[in-house]
Amino acid sequence: MKARIYITLKTGVLDPQGKAVHHALGALGFEEAQDVRQGKYIEMEVADGTPRARVEEMCERLLANTVIENYRVELDGETALGDQGA
């Protein structure tokens, strides 16, 4: 079963990496890019039947720094999504 985890910086947290990408896009002539935030995307193969709560625990304990980051978990076969750690 596949789990997809999206980790993004919380609103208000400075994102120098995103700023650098934004600046580089502007230098290349991509003026339509107005704001860029860079985060992490983790694809994980988990044992079938792993509950969502278990994957969220992985985020809380290791994958995301919940002081400054939000995470979102998608599990194959699930449709309901929600931002966590907000």
CB of 15 to its own copies, least distance (A): 10
Tell me the two tokens of residue 20.
Answer: 């650098």
Q: How far apart are CA 5 and CA 64, in angstroms?
A: 10
CB of 72 to its own copies, least distance (A): 10
Tell me the two tokens of residue 36.
Answer: 């860029």
Of 57 and 76, the one with the shorter C-beta distance to its own copies is: 57
Q: How far apart are CA 55 and CA 10, in angstroms?
A: 20
Of 25 and 66, the one with the shorter C-beta distance to its own copies is: 25
Of 52 and 67, the one with the shorter C-beta distance to its own copies is: 52
What is the β-pairing status of strands 2-9 and 83-84? unpaired
Point out which residues bind its own copies (CB under 8 A). Answer: 6-8, 18, 21, 24-25, 28, 30-47, 50, 54, 57-58, 61-63
